[in-house]
């Protein structure tokens, strides 16, 4: 039986990224890393308001670490369908104290979930190690910042903006072709700006400007994104596609989330972003055990 890895610190995560760069995801059988979600928001679709108080946010960060998260993704602005943007100051007031508090007692890798350049910069200075940007570094100065600091960044595909992205999502090309085209453009733009290839992670944006069919197509055909030879992050946790297909409220979507995660892991997804670290880890450990035989 294999010995299952524990959560990693920032140096170990950087080393992990370097081993993944330039390699096809199809030949890497390692267990996906787990990115635990910490939403410090009032209106996120699953846990809005639960962790807006700093002491509760820090307590949840500790819980995610204890459950086996490799990375904690800290966000202060909801990106659920229909969500309205908040100011830079409000987002900073939510995320910076929690980043500093977690860094003070743990060396776990922290990610800042933001599309604002000023928030990215402040969060990285406070101790976050990577950027998770749903806009794919579209904000003014974002690419320049990442080129200067040379930190890992996840580029996500999204059609539109959270406020309106689910009103009528449609694509002229096949959704996989559309996302791959977007990835190629953003990768090239990052490289031209000076961002190192080994710092890039890709996310096809399950639920971000996609229909149910689009979302299922993405998970079913995840291997088609391996053409970019970069780590792939997937976030399906408790999303509305699961709720609509199973007719379940958000509180009862764990099993649907796990099913999609298993399909993604069997196609060598590199990072799974989840609200449910313990349960997801158990599923991934079983896959890892079978791969080890």
pLDDT, position 105: 94
**Among 234, 238, 232, 173, residue whose Cα is nearest residue 200:** 232
**Among 172, 226, 219, residue whose Cα is nearest residue 202:** 226
Sheet holding 71-75, edge to edge: 200-203, 153-156, 130-133, 109-113, 71-75, 33-39, 271-274, 233-235
Distance (Å, rounded) from C-alpha 51 to C-alpha 38? 8
pLDDT, one tens digit per residue, over 4-43 is: 345 689 999 999 998 876 554 444 567 999 999 999 988 7
Tokens of 137: 């570094």
Going residue by residue through the chain (293 aa), what tens digit of pLDDT does each one get? 333 345 689 999 999 998 876 554 444 567 999 999 999 988 776 776 788 888 999 999 999 999 999 999 999 998 877 777 889 999 999 999 999 999 999 999 999 999 999 999 999 999 999 999 999 999 999 999 999 999 999 999 998 787 777 887 888 889 999 999 999 999 999 999 999 999 999 999 999 999 999 999 999 999 999 999 999 999 999 999 999 999 999 999 999 999 999 999 999 899 999 999 999 999 999 999 998 88
Active-site residue list: 239, 273
Please give the model's pTM, rounded to 2 decimal places: 0.92
CB 86 within 8 A of CB 76: yes
pLDDT, position 27: 45
Q: How far apart are the first and last CA of the chain?
A: 8
Structural domains of the chain, with CATH? 10-291 (3.20.20.20)
């Amino acid at each position: 039986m294999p010995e299952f890895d524990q959560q990693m610190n920032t140096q170990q995560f950087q080393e992990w990224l370097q081993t993944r760069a330039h390699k096809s995801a199809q030949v890497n059988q390692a267990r996906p890393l787990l990115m635990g979600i910490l939403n410090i928001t009032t209106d996120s679709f699953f846990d809005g308001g639960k962790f807006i108080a700093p002491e509760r946010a820090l307590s949840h960060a500790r819980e995610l670490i204890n459950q086996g998260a490799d990375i904690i993704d800290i966000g202060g602005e909801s990106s659920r369908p229909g969500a309205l943007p908040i100011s830079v100051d409000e987002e900073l007031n939510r995320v910076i104290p929690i980043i500093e508090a977690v860094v003070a007692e743990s060396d776990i890798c922290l990610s800042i979930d933001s599309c604002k350049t000023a928030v990215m910069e402040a969060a990285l200075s406070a101790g976050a190690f990577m950027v998770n940007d749903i806009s794919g570094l579209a904000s003014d100065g974002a690419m320049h910042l990442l080129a200067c600091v040379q930190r890992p960044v996840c580029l996500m595909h999204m059609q539109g903006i959270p406020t309106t992205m689910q009103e009528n999502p449609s694509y002229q090309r096949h959704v996989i072709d559309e996302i791959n085209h977007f990835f190629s453009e953003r990768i090239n733009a990052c490289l031209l700006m000076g961002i190192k290839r080994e710092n890039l992670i890709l996310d096809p944006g399950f639920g971000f400007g996609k229909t149910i069919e689009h979302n299922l197509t993405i998970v079913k055909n995840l291997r088609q994104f391996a053409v970019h030879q970069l780590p792939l992050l997937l976030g399906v946790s408790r999303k509305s596609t699961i709720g609509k297909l199973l007719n379940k409220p958000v509180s009862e979507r764990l099993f649907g989330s796990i099913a999609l995660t298993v399909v993604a892991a069997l196609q060598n997804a590199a990072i799974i972003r989840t609200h449910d670290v313990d349960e997801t880890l158990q599923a991934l450990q079983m896959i890892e055990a079978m791969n080890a035989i």
